[in-house]
Amino acid sequence: MSTDTIAAIATGLSAGGISIIRISGPEASSIASGIFRVGNKENLSMPSFEQWESHTVHYGFVVEDDRIVDEVMLLYLKAPKTYTREDTIEIDCHGGIVVTKRILSLVLSHGARLAEPGEFTKRAFLNGRIDLSQAEAVMGIISAKNDLALRNSVKQLRGKLRTRILSVREEILNAVAEIEAALDQPEYYTLDGFRERLSESLERQSAEIRRLIRSADDGRMMSEGIRTVILGKPNVGKSSLLNALLEEDRAIVTDIAGTTRDTLTEEIRVNGISLVLVDTAGIRNTLDPVEEIGVRKAREQAQEADLILFVADASVPLDENDKEILRGHTNARVLALLNKSDLSPVTTEEDLKNLLSACGCDAEILSISAKDGAGLNELRDKISGMFFSGDILTDDEVAITAERQKECLYEAEASLSHVLEALSEDMPEDFLSIDLMGAYGALSRILGEEVDEDLIDRIFETFCLGK
Amino acid sequence: MTNTIPEYTTDSYDVAIIGAGHAGCEAALASARLGCETICFMVSTDTIAMMPCNPNIGGTSKGHLVREVDALGGEMGKNIDKAFIQSKMLNRSKGPAVHSLRAQADKQRYSNCMRAVMENTPHLTLRQAEVSELLYEELPDGTKRVTGVKTVSGAIYPCKAAVLCSGVYLNARCIFGEVSTYTGPNGTPRATHLTDSLIAAGIEMYRFKTGTPARIDRRSIDFSVMEEQRGDEPIVPFSFTNTPEELEREQALCYLAYTNEETHRIIRANLDRSPLFSGDIKGSGPRYCPSIEDKVVKFPEKDRHQIFIEPEGEYTNEMYLSGMSSSLPEEVQIAMYRSIRGLEHAKIVRNAYAIEYDCINPLQLYPTLECKKIHGFFSAGQSNGSSGYEEAAAQGIIAGINASRYVQGKDGITLDRSQAYIGVLIDDLVTKETHEPYRMMTSRAEYRLLLRQDNADLRLTEIGHEIGLIPEERYQKFLMKKQAIEDELERLSLAVLGASREVCETLVGLGSSEIHTATSLLELLRRPELSYESLAPLDPERKPLPADVIEQVVINIRYEGYIERQLQQVEQFKKLENRKIPADFDYDAVPSLRLEARQKLKLFRPVNVGQASRISGVSPADISVLLVFLTRVLRGEAQE
């Protein structure tokens, strides 16, 4: 039986409906009693889990410091008749990514650990809930969810933010290397003046981590949503499609950090689902070096996509370039759009279908006109349909990834404050190493990197050790 | 060549140890003391426990290893206590975890003392002979089993287990400048046949490199311009069986000198003649023990490097130049050393040189140090790609214990990363890919706060006793010490002082602050400004206790928070460590493992899930998948 209690958002990205936060483990009810209140808004009282029967639903509020965060339904499930065979609590909240994540943060700050990819299912299995014949499926889920989480983690953390985390991490590692070199070769290296330098550097690094946490809270750090890449030859109407989809959503369009000049990224809602739309440079075989960069970027974007919107131009014949673009991406979910249906078509849905099957792609085809808006509603319905039916392989991991990264930042910050505390208590330097490495490890987890030999390598790079 | 020499079969043994350096001696002694008829081979009996490089034992993290070897019932600690001429506890101003004991040795005495122990240990036979072949039989499952060893003279010694402790002797080549000599260290004979035999047995070999500085005639050095380096008074013994009083003796002096711009200029001007830079040396050298030419090239901004001048012993005038190993040509060495203040008239007795040698890829070993492919074949020390006398001894005792247990049909013993530096050392060697000689460092130990040199006995004596290397009398003494620590901790927690004026005045007098409620002595000891001794006036009940008991009590109280945290981490670590993976486990049967992880796991064959998780290229998700599968296997068996 596991000893710790885990939590995660159990529902997907749907911004409209109900979101569920699931908590599983021995501390589930004590964690919930820290944030859940029953009664009415004017008269909140503590829940009495010990008196409640298992498998009952309770109306109440999630609170933070006595302030109401959301009105929720709480499902109370006692072991062993639960999915994980552990005490389980599910909080159904009114949704909205922001509120859901805030509740999850509260649950985590009250002692739960963020679940690893597929961990509920893993526990269900390890606790005997799932029988042997299903073990293979369990392993498949763990590994698929983890791949997805990694993919999301990497694609959500790009550009500047990555650089900022790297630079904090770098400075921490240098400090540890200095300590360790002096400990290893006390007759060659002293730590005179080190404590002053370290405490100054720690103030700076902690401030930077707090800034990173704030930007995570603002939602600026990572873009969340189904990563949708618009692909097609030049001039088939990709940008018009983007603009058309953005039209009524203008109000909630946000700029996303990491936007490159070669691709344009926008966030929109489609039937309540978040979509990150990436408009790429048109792909075609090119010898022009500048354009080639754009094409390469477009291909990279497509590699990371959850959904590809392939746009073809109905007013001109299909050619080798269309084929070439499709060829590399038969693994991702693709919707094929025949644009410019308002003009007299040269290419039919039938032609496009032939091209698709020649490329081994079984995408559905929609005729649209980005210019007059024909077919766009069908397109929206199609996308949300694919999402809800699970055809688009994205799930809670997208939202969770951001939370996981934030958790790591909090951990790094806490470790650094331990170091400051130890400095003020005049603890010997080898104690400082412990929490400095803790912070280093936490930051490395955000970047998805193994840290194993980093310290040893750094010591040897920077310090001349020898006998 | 060996084929032309007639073979004959001679005495049989339980265990054959190949080599009598620091690994070989510990392996041979452990095996013989555990009751196995043991034969130990060496190319020359003059090389037993020889220290061909630095004249010291211990140092940061290495001192920890020596104390652990001692706590398990090994010999190195006792031997250096007999042979030291200066002793120092390094890092005293730092935390207790990094306090490190180091002693300068009289090399000859060290070697002689160990030889005397070896020669007088029952069940142990010494034999000067070069082992040229490992003999084995093929088993139906494709693995092999040791049946004996053969020497260059054609003698076949049947044995059940063999331990390779070949140090730097396999196909050794010593190099300085354009000169190569085909010998072991210090001009001793090398071993030229065994590598081929091991390769034929399917063992993958590496070629590593290390080096040593010149030895200078003491009479040619002007010590008056150098800083003196003195030993500690009183000294701390290496062995838990010795007391400081027993080991009191006159201590020798070491000296500190510096290189300068002229030294560096001479080195730079002759780099093209260095075999390291000309490409003549192909072996992988260690980063932590670079030659002086490496240092000058890698750290051009440093205008001087420290050199410690240390005696090789009381029997000789030779002085060791620590920090200045080199493989530059002889005349360049002379110019280089003479450019140093105080060494202007230095006379070199022995040249500095680099040495290249064959060793095995240690990933082929289980954490017991037994070879995965050949049952009964063990390897320890530099032949496993480590460096250092202490690292060698640490592996030697484990290999010796396990070779004897193999012969006796018992399961092998392993120490994990939370128990000992020995565990960290061996786990790193057999789990992580290394491409340079491996040296122990305290930063390699993730639970170093628990793995202190001061508590090595508390961590390992029990295990040493269980194995059979700690005699009953020593064990009873140890139990008393353990009890005394627990009793004193309890007494201090129960001894509560009221916040009276007297008490407060005493505390303020000690440079501390007043108390406002009743406070235990244990609580007061947490205050960094108060020591156990200084609290004596407030502790009339106190009975005299040995210094090592008080030391444990104070460390436990003062660093409790940190220690507690590491203990929790260890608990997490043990969960995966305790999930064993069967030796014949079929990774191809596990669905959803990533290709890279599957290949690595098949190659490494980790013994438990913890070890699997430390293999680079195996992700946490792979570990989850593996755990689920292992559970299925277990449950499946339970159902059958």
Q: Which of residues 153-182 of A touch B (CB under 8 A)?
A: 176, 180
Q: Which two tokens stand for residue B429?
A: 């060697």
Chain B: give the shortest CA distance to residue A453, in Å: 9
CB contact under 8 A, A146 and B60: no
Which amino acid would we find at residue B302? K
Question: What Cα–Cα distance (Å) separates residue A83 from each residue in A89, A178, B331, B635?
Answer: 11, 49, 78, 19
Instruction: Judge: A132–B323 Cβ closer than 8 Å, yes or no.
Output: no
Across the strands, what pairs with A23? A7, A89
Question: What is the rounded distance in angstroms from the CA atom of residue A397 to the CA atom of residue A155?
Answer: 13
Of the segments A323-327, B491-495, B573-577, which one has the largest average pLDDT value?
B491-495
Mean pLDDT for each 10-residue chunk of chain A (467 residues)?
79 62 93 92 88 90 88 90 90 76 86 82 77 65 62 54 85 93 90 93 91 64 62 79 66 34 62 67 57 66 78 85 72 80 81 83 84 84 69 47 76 93 92 94 80 75 68
pLDDT value at residue A377: 85
Residue B394 in tokens: 């640490």
Q: Which residue has the higher pLDDT, B622 or B160?
A: B160
Highest mean pLDDT among A77-81, A113-117, B334-338, B432-436: B334-338
- Beta-carbon separation of B592 and A430 below 8 A: no
Would the CB atoms of A464 and B95 count as touching at under 8 Å? no
CA dihedral sign of residues B623, B630, B463, B412: negative
Q: Helix, strand or coil for residue A261?
A: coil
Contacts of A176 in chain B (CB under 8 A): 443
Q: Quick check: helix, strand or coil at residue A407?
A: helix
Sign of CA dihedral A146, A150, A156, A162: positive
Triad A132, A136, A140: Cα angle to 5°:
145
User: What is the rounded radius of gyration, in angstroms, for the C-alpha atoms of chain B?
Assistant: 27
φ, ψ for residue B40 (rounded to 5)? -120, 120
Cis peptide before B234 (omega within 30 of 0): yes
Ranking A422-436, B28-42, B405-419 by mean pLDDT, the lowest is: A422-436
**Residue B69 contacts residue B77 (beta carbons within 8 Å):** yes
Once rounded to an integer, what is the mean pLDDT over residues B206-226? 96
Helix (H) or strand (E) holding A8: strand A6-9
Please indicate whether, in this complex, the C-beta atoms of B632 and A132 are within 8 angstroms of each other.
yes
B91: pLDDT strictly greater than 50: yes
Q: Distance between CA atoms of B329 and B278, rounded to whole angstroms?
A: 12
Better pLDDT: B189 or A280: B189
Contact present, B163 and B379 (Cβ < 8 Å): yes
Q: How far apart are CA A276 and CA B309, in angstroms?
A: 67
> How far B309 CA sits from the closest chain A CA (Å)?
11
| Section B295-314 average pLDDT | 94
Alpha helices in B128-236 (DSSP H): 194-200
* pLDDT tier, B220 (very low <50, low <70, confident <90, very high otherwise): very high
Judge: A122–B628 Cβ closer than 8 Å, yes or no.
Answer: yes
**Single-letter residue type at B400:** G
Among the listed residues A158, A155, A164, the one whose alpha carbon sits nearest the alpha carbon of residue A213 = A164
CA pair distance B373, B134, nearest whole angstrom: 13
B574 in reach of chain A (CB within 8 A): no
Supply the ipTM of this predicted assembly: 0.90
pLDDT band at B1 (very low <50, low <70, confident <90, very high): very low
Q: State the helix-helix crossing angle for A238-246 and A376-388, rounded to 10 degrees.
A: 80
Please identify among residues 187-206 of chain A the ones whose CB lies closer than 8 Å to any CB of chain B. 187-188
Q: Can you give the pTM of this predicted structure?
A: 0.79
pLDDT for B185 beyond 60: yes
CA of A221 vs chain B CAs: smallest distance (Å):
25
Residue keyed to tokens 């040495």: B355
The overall average pLDDT reported for chain B is 94
- B591/A117 CB distance under 8 A: no
Listed in sequence order, the residues at least 6 apart from B472 whose beta carbon sits closer than 8 Å to its beta carbon are none
Nearest to B395 by CA among B140, B8, B27, B54: B27
Instruction: For residue B470, give the nearest of B53, B68, B48, B119 by alpha carbon.
Output: B68
pLDDT of amino acid A95:
61
Length of chain A, please? 467
A304: nearest Cα among A260, A368, A356, A359: A260
CB within 8 Å: B624 and A122: yes
Residue of A nearest to B58 (CA): A184
pLDDT in the model for residue A335? 87
Residue of chain A whose alpha carbon sits nearest to that of B307? A467
Q: What percent of chain B is predicted at pLDDT more than 70?
A: 98
Residue A102's alpha-carbon distances to A22, A61, A118, in angstroms, are 14, 13, 22
Q: What residues of B are in contact with residue A116 (Cβ under 8 Å)? A: 620, 624
Give DSSP secondary structure letters for B32-73.
Answer: HHTT--EEEEES-GGGTT---S-SEEE-TTHHHHHHHHHHHT
Between CA B554 and CA B560 the distance in angstroms is 10
B296 contacts: CB under 8 Å, gap ≥ 6 = B264, B267, B268, B305
Percentage with pLDDT > 90 across chain B: 86
Higher pLDDT, B517 or A385: B517
Q: What is the pLDDT of residue A219?
A: 45
For residue B527, what is the nearest residue in chain A, using CA coordinates? A425
Interface test with B, best of A153, A187, A440 (most B CBs within 10 A): A187
Looking from the CA of B179 toward its CB, the CA atoms found within 13 Å total: 12
Greatest CA separation for chain A: 85
What's the rounded mean pLDDT across residues B292-314? Answer: 93
Interface list for B 490-529 with A (CB within 8 A): 528
Q: Could you tell me the CA-to-CA distances from A264 to A24, A237, A337, B413 in Å, in that order?
A: 41, 14, 19, 61
- What domains lie within chain A, and their CATH numbers? 6-130 (3.30.1360.120), 135-220+398-448 (1.20.120.430), 226-305+307-386 (3.40.50.300)
pLDDT score, position A222: 39
Interface A-B, measured as beta-carbon pairs within 8 A, has a size of 133
Of the candidates A435, A438, A428, A198, the one whose C-alpha atom is nearest the C-alpha of residue B559 is A428
Spatial distance between the Cα atoms of B96 and B92, rounded to a whole number of angstroms:
8
Distance CA B197, CA B193 (A): 7
